[in-house]
Amino acid sequence: MKGKRIGNAQISPLHANFFINLGDARAADVYELIQEARTAVRKLSGFDLELEIELVGEWPVH
């Protein structure tokens, strides 16, 4: 997933645990990127990643 980009949100090409705002990234872009990464890890390993951050506001439940 390194380098994966949605809008102006990107997973770092150097370290997959860092998300980069390339300029004017929307929260929805970051959230979608998080969900894609979680889905990919689940499919490849069977493990469910837990967020280390707290989402503030209203978000779809996954």
Give the model's pLDDT for residue 55. 87
- pTM comes to 0.84
CA proximity to 30, closest of 41, 42, 38, 19: 19
Domain ranges of the chain: 5-45
pLDDT at 62: 61
- Ordered per-residue pLDDT tens for the chain, 62 residues: 999 999 999 999 999 889 999 999 999 999 999 999 999 999 999 999 998 888 888 887 76
> What's the CA gap between 48 and 45, in Å, rounded?
9
For residue 48, the model assigns a pLDDT of 95
Closest by CA to 30, choosing from 44, 38, 20, is: 20
